């Protein structure tokens, strides 16, 4: 968020470096303090801790070509290990409050689209190759050049779209917004709670946390988002015990610990076959699968990096992200590491916005988040103590704060307003950051060209827009090539 919109600031945040730690992370230079970074790191961890449960569920529920499944305990270890290592590396190398973990959407693609055609080792090999492709793009500077070629108005729209996206993620995860079953033949795709009403104590916990966090934010209480999470978790534990609720009432995670310590199982680490998929499904099919993975990872990560950095007030006057080359390199390595550990591609998590909302501005927050993931290797039951209903109000609050960026968009000029609108709308409505970015790029190129301003469009934006046309038309292309 912009500095003016910060919900909580420490009155004594240092203005000049006071220690080696301060100088290394540029804490004072970015108007932060160690306390704010610690709070931000805690908020980010609790906002994304659900991935410890969700990623193993997604990957573990799928079968490969030979009906083999991955081990749930091993998936938990792989998910937590890669998230810990990559988040810490991002903090040390990129010096940004951008946490990494197994990317949602990408893991589903690996589980339900790629694995059924290959073995698990071969599927993860394609993920590694996709990560190597991202690393090459980062090392050559091409990925950074593409990000810098994006017009400022689209960067602003990406930030707003991500604000709506994280809001929807929070509402869906909390069970406040649910799918309408197809069997009712309704034209309404989503609804409030169950049957159009909020039911059960978990919904009360969410509403309590949302209202409390907003109150703390408008009162400018330091630690507003983290306080809201902690208070909601305490209420959830009390309600769960007092009402004798079943674990299923809370969704993925219930506010109770099944023990304290769990032994990590590293059995999946290194189980990769880099080129086996090419022989099994053919060169063209394997290449298209890698292309789809790469495009999704590329622009999901890009959108999150721009959106969260803008929310933190860290973009320069040209809308560029500091240390962008380093950030992109680390994220690319995250994709490789995720595939190598069978955890699926790791990418920057949009839930990092919860930490930014709490005041995080540097990589020090990542050390806190990554350190907690590392502890979760042994204390996984405790990491799963915070239910979604206690953590997701933070995402809704941060989404509201990110929406304030919409005022910077020039709505009187439809050649930029329409692409911005499409970008913003499609992110939540398609549940995909990449889709919103791609549609916005294409429409921007078309509309600017229609009014005779084609020469003002950067060449890289033309190329990327053409790639998105291929991405959206992948189904007929596969049919023409005879690979589907």
pLDDT, tens only, 181-240:
766 677 778 889 887 889 899 999 999 999 999 999 999 888 888 899 899 999 999 999
Q: What is the mean pLDDT of residues 461-478?
A: 89
**Considering the chain, what percentage of its residues have pLDDT values greater than 90?**
61
What are the tokens at 408? 């910077």
- Per-residue pLDDT, 6: 44
Cα 369–chain centre separation: 14
Q: State yes or no: pLDDT of 16 exceeds 80.
A: no
pLDDT in tens, 31-58: 999 999 999 999 999 999 889 888 998 8
Q: State yes or no: pLDDT of 319 exceeds 70.
A: yes
Q: What mean pLDDT is reported for the chain?
A: 90
pLDDT in tens, 433-443: 889 999 999 99
Of 115-124, 128-137, 288-297, 441-450, which range is least confident? 288-297
Cα separation, 278 vs 270, whole angstroms:
19
- Per-residue pLDDT, 3: 40
Q: State yes or no: pLDDT of 384 exceeds 80.
A: no
pTM: 0.80
Cα 234–chain centre separation: 26
Confidence of residue 398 (pLDDT cuts 50, 70, 90): confident
Strand partners of residue 179: 190
Q: State yes or no: pLDDT of 254 exceeds 90.
A: no
Cα separation, 246 vs 358, whole angstroms:
32
**Considering the chain, what percentage of its residues have pLDDT values greater than 70?**
95
Confidence of residue 85 (pLDDT cuts 50, 70, 90): very high
Cα 243 to Cα 97, 239, 240, 249, 283: the distances in Å are 38, 6, 6, 11, 57
Cα 464 to Cα 135, 142, 439: the distances in Å are 17, 11, 11
């Amino acid at each position: 968020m912009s500095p003016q919109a910060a919900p909580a600031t420490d009155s004594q945040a240092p203005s000049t470096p006071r220690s080696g730690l301060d100088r290394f992370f540029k804490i004072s230079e970015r108007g932060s303090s160690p306390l704010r970074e610690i709070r931000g790191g805690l908020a980010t961890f609790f906002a994304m801790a659900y991935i410890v449960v969700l990623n193993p569920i997604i990957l573990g529920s799928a079968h490969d070509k030979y009906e083999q499944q991955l081990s749930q305990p091993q998936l938990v270890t792989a998910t937590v290990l890669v998230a810990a290592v990559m988040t810490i590396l991002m903090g040390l190398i990129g010096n940004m409050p951008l946490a990494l973990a197994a990317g949602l959407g990408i893991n589903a693609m690996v589980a339900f689209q790629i694995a059924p055609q290959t073995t698990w080792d071969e599927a993860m090999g394609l993920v590694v190759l996709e990560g190597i492709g991202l690393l090459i793009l980062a090392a050559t500077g091409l990925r950074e050049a593409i990000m810098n070629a994006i017009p400022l108005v689209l960067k602003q729209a990406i930030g707003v779209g991500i604000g709506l996206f994280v809001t929807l993620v929070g509402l869906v995860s909390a069970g406040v917004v649910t799918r309408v079953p197809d069997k009712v033949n309704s034209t309404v795709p989503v609804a409030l709670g169950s049957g159009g009403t909020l039911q059960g104590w978990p919904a009360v916990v969410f509403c309590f946390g949302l209202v409390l966090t907003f109150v703390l934010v408008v009162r400018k209480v330091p630690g507003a988002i983290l306080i809201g999470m902690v208070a909601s978790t305490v209420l959830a534990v009390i309600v769960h015990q007092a009402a004798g609720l079943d674990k299923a009432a809370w969704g993925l995670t219930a506010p109770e610990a099944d023990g304290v310590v769990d032994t990590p199982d590293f059995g999946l680490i290194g189980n990769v076959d880099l080129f086996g998929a090419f022989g099994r499904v053919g060169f063209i099919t394997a290449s298209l699968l890698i292309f789809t993975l790469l495009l999704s990872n590329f622009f999901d990560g890009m959108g999150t990096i721009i959106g969260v950095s803008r929310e933190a007030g860290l973009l320069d006057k040209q809308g560029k992200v500091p240390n962008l080359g380093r950030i992109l390199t680390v994220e690319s390595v995250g994709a490789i590491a995720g595939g190598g550990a069978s955890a699926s591609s790791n990418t920057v998590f949009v839930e990092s916005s919860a930490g930014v909302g709490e005041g995080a501005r540097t990589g020090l927050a990542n050390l806190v988040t990554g350190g907690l993931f590392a502890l979760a290797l042994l204390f996984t039951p405790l990491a799963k103590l915070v239910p979604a209903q206690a953590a997701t109000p933070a995402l809704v609050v941060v989404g509201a704060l990110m929406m304030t960026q919409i005022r910077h968009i020039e709505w009187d000029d439809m050649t930029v307003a329409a692409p911005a609108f499409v970008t913003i709308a499609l992110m939540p409505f398609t549940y995909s950051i990449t889709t919103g970015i791609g549609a916005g790029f294409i429409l921007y190129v078309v509309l600017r060209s229609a009014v005779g301003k084609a020469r003002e469009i950067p060449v890289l934006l033309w190329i990327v827009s053409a790639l998105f046309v291929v991405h959206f038309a992948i189904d007929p292309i596969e049919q023409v090539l005879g690979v589907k």
